[in-house]
Chains A and B, each alone.
Chain A
Amino acid sequence: MKLAYWMYAGPAHISTLRIASSFRNVHAIMHAPLGDDHFNVMRSMLERERDFTPVTTSVVDRHVLACGSREKVVNNISQKEDLQNFVDRASSYSESDVILADVNHYRINELQAADKTLEQIVRYYLDKARREGFLNRSLTDDPSANIIGISTPGFHNQHDCRELKRLPSEPGISINQIIPEGEFLKNLKDLSRAWFNIVPYREMSLMAANFLEKEYGMPHILTTPIGILNTADFIAQISKIVNLWSFSLIEKKVNYDLYVENQTKFVSQATWFSKSIDCQNLAGKEAAVSGDATHAAAITKILVREMGIRVSCSGTYCKHDADWFNEQVQGLCDETIITEDHTEIGDTIARIEPSAIFGTQMERHIGKRLDIPCGVISSPVHIQNFPLGYRPFLGYEGTNQISDLIYNSFNLGMEDHLLDVFGGHDTKEENIKSLSTEKNNIHWSYDVESELKKIPGFVRGKIKKNTEVFAKQNNISTITVDVMYAAKEKLSS
């Protein structure tokens, strides 16, 4: 048992639901007690999803427990067999395919489970297509790619997806399929027709990509196109892969250098920004970075190599990916911290005292406590991370967005500092103390003052004002608890 206050990644079944509800015609059934389907609420409210979330709870209560489940939680192996039997029976009754999600709740977290579930589904459908003989092994005529790993409600996933579609399209690469978001399962048989796979978030799709490479010889690009340098690298890798086949299939070699140069210099504003004098002011400032492996590593690289900002500490909560992460940020930061314990990260940040933090919502709150500005760069997600406007992190548009984020985060701190130095904060305290310019003889009795204190601060002023107006209207000179409540009933707030 351990004492836990906050977790970065959710439990395993949440990711199974994420993958299931991302696919187009998949419905997830949770055999669970009341309340476990709060995923529906999260998805509906965070993504402002217009349609019903395709997750139904088959409610487990005492009766079900008494009749159905034996030693369910204690023995994992027999649990799997039990559920597998259930699944087999269900398949025979239903026209749809039924799959058992093979994830162990106690050993893996949300991200690892998402990875596993996606791989399981891809494997199931490709194996089925192969067995039944309608697997299409021919490559598409023109170069195409699959995007693997876009799901609901992922951190800026919808925007990233748009950018990922745009990015290879100018160099002439079409998108074959995007999984799981929005794809029909019956189309999965065509997955292997693409020339290669794009894996933007290694936490969520590495296993599926590896499977496709092993079984179907599909190469995949693991570089996430975040930041100018990574995006250029990404395009370079694409050209290498395409050129492997291009001679025989499209009878020419491709070169995207001009495209990359054009984008880097003129379309993305990030390179110019890093040369401009604004950015020069940021050089040498200290930052701390934390988040999931993909985003934390990428932002560290951007800060150090593209903007000249020092990163004192870089960390991730993806413990299972520690080796890759350390390798990525080696030499770029003073120290790394790999932990799931937010208090450790908080203490580290408090010790370092950077000028800005780039992390998750938890780090944003650590920043508020320590009075350090923070830009959010990674899940866990919050309603703020689902903006209506177009805000990708990937691709060339992403570089603009990230530069804005970094610049504003540092600047906010500086602004406050300057205002402090020059005493420029507006202080309109007089407004709260006396609520009318004319002399009034209204007296607040002692007991009602303590009642007033129970009212939350942001509404207290209004209530006080309302009450005084009511008192004046009714010629009351002493305000008691009675008067305050009577005022609330009479006047509209």
Chain B
Amino acid sequence: MKNFEIPAFECETGNYHTFCPISCVAWLYQKIEDSFFLVIGTKTCGYFLQNALGVMIFAEPRYAMAELEEGDISAQLNDHEELKKICLQIKNDRNPSVIIWIGTCTTEIIKMDLEGIAPKLEKQIGIPIIVARANGLDYAFTQGEDTVLAAMAHRCPEYKNSELRQEPTNKIDNSSQIKINNSSNNNFISERIELPKSKLVLFGSLPSSVASQLNLELKRQSILVLGWLPSQRYNELPSLGEGIYVCGVNPFLSRTATTLMCRRKCQLIGSPFPIGPDGIRAWIEKICSVFNKTPVGLNERENQIWKAVQDYTRIIKGKSVFFMGDNLLEISLARFLIRCGMVVYEIGIPYMDKRYQAAELLFLQQTCKKMNTPLPRIVEKPDNYSQVQRMHELKPHLAITGMAHANPLEARNINTKWSVEFTFAQIHGFSNVQDILELVTRPLRCRSGIMSDFQSLSKQTNKMNSI
């Protein structure tokens, strides 16, 4: 039995900066095209989302705030009636296929019974209402997507084993020619293939082009994805149930995974996440092994990609990086960068589900051993202040941090890359490996002459030096 170094897990105060989980609205409303997101909270929530959505808010996105006023808080107004008024207005203005209520810190504290009101209101107005509690008390940033998907999982239709046989040609024999549906989940249009759909549902919100790329990769291995959670339209949610395998594409979806396993009785495929050529290969290999298929051409694909990004890996080889941590993608990104030849000093991460990320953690250890680099320190719920002190001592070449610290660190001559960009850039799949490396190397490539002479551009430290 191989004896791997156990990664050191630490836990600090949790005084760190990350975004509120309601920020998931910003990308989920775009992904699910017939949805409407209603955030039930206060001015604070609205103001944050307004700034997070930025310019998009002017395009009248399918999102609104149900702003709680003093009367709501002191229980003078009837919640049910107020929400009914608002939902009717939304129905008249936008007529979505589903309204998703996002509970916030305030609704938690005043214990507003959203789950109780929703089903009644759903019957009254005739539009499905899903309740997801995405609040900063319990979750961080990307975990907002986790709670929404976990809530949506309950609405997926029940999978019946006979479904696969209900093809237009009505043949009982699975392997005969089948015309595949032109649904937006899997973009294979009128292609005659001799494959049945595998009982595989992928979960995680990715831009549709990236989802298509991943579908294509699996199709090359003769595995046809049954569907995605979330699907592009609410009416196209995949069927779930006993006999269906589910696999996640993002590391922060532990609650969704648990819901799919325990409530919907699906089988979870635990694998590293498809980020970086090594991650994608491992992901595809694992899925293939579950469906008893031998992966074809994977090693060649992976090596091809490594060769194609040689210029980038050359820049970062041997350099060190420090993750301050805010979007839960840190383990996968760290593993990928280690494989590229970097040294990772520390990985800060808001929350680590050791079971859901088990495969990824194991892969991290294996990668460190392979590249002969020390295992990074993993800190859950980091303390930003302590981290900055550690960074001053360690002097990493690159710090991956949130926007609150990026500018001040740059002024102190530490190269930074803001972490939020990794959540909005396309980082999954073979075709996007270059994109990740573009992001990571940009601060290292940008260092042209003028500023390198200054130790620090910060007014505070300069003042101290002059005394």
Interface residues of A (CB under 8 A from B): 1-7, 10-14, 32-38, 40-42, 44-45, 48-53, 56-62, 65, 69, 72-75, 105-107, 109, 362, 365, 368, 446-447, 450-451, 454-455, 481-482, 485, 488-490, 492-493
Contact = CB atoms under 8 A, between A and B. Distances in A.
Identify which of A59, A65, A109, A488 gathers the most chain B CB atoms within 10 Å of its CB. Answer: A59
A455 B137 contact: no
Given A41-B403, A65-B137, A73-B110, A51 B67 contact: no
A241 B430 CA distance: 73
Given A38-B51, A58-B15, A44 B20 contact: no
Contacts of B411: 50-51
Interface string B30-49: 00000000001011101110
B64 A106 contact: no
A11 B43 contact: yes
Contacts, number: 190
A468 to B, nearest CB: 17
A40 B64 contact: no
B106 A61 contact: no
Contacts of A58: 15
Given A74-B74, A450-B187, A481-B212, A37 B69 contact: no
A378 B304 CA distance: 54
A489 B407 contact: no
Identify which of A33, A34, A60, A451 gathers the most chain B CB atoms within 10 Å of its CB. Answer: A34
A57 to B, nearest CB: 6
A106 B48 contact: no
A38 B19 contact: yes
A7 B43 CA distance: 8
Nearest to B188: A447
A448 to B, nearest CB: 10
A56 B138 CA distance: 19
3 nearest interchain CB pairs? Answer: A35-B20, A33-B136, A40-B404
B135 interface: yes
Contacts of A492: 434
B64 A34 contact: no
B17 interface: yes
Contacts of A38: 19-20, 48, 51-52
Contact of A485 (B14, B23, B85, B216): B216
B86 interface: yes
A360 B82 CA distance: 31
Given A45-B403, A447-B187, A454-B212, 9 more contacts: A32-B136, A35-B23, A35-B136, A35-B140, A38-B20, A50-B458, A72-B109, A106-B69, A454-B209
A51 B459 contact: yes
A58 B65 CA distance: 26
B234 to A, nearest CB: 19
Contacts of B22: 35
B405 interface: yes
Interface in B179-219: 187-189, 191, 207-209, 212-213, 216
A48 B407 contact: yes
11 contacts: A1-B66, A1-B77, A4-B46, A5-B60, A7-B50, A12-B43, A33-B137, A36-B44, A41-B17, A454-B212, A493-B434
Contacts of B136: 32-36
A2 B50 contact: no
B171 to A, nearest CB: 24
A23 to B, nearest CB: 14
Given A36-B20, A106-B70, A446-B189, A60 B137 contact: yes
A257 to B, nearest CB: 40
B187 A61 contact: no
A20 to B, nearest CB: 15
Given A1-B82, A2-B69, A34-B20, A489 B308 contact: yes
B352 to A, nearest CB: 16
Identify which of A33, A48, A107 gathers the most chain B CB atoms within 10 Å of its CB. Answer: A33
A292 B333 CA distance: 45
A45 B44 contact: no
Nearest to A107: B70
B57 interface: yes
A50 B207 CA distance: 35
Contact of A44 (B135, B212, B406): B406
Contacts of A490: 308
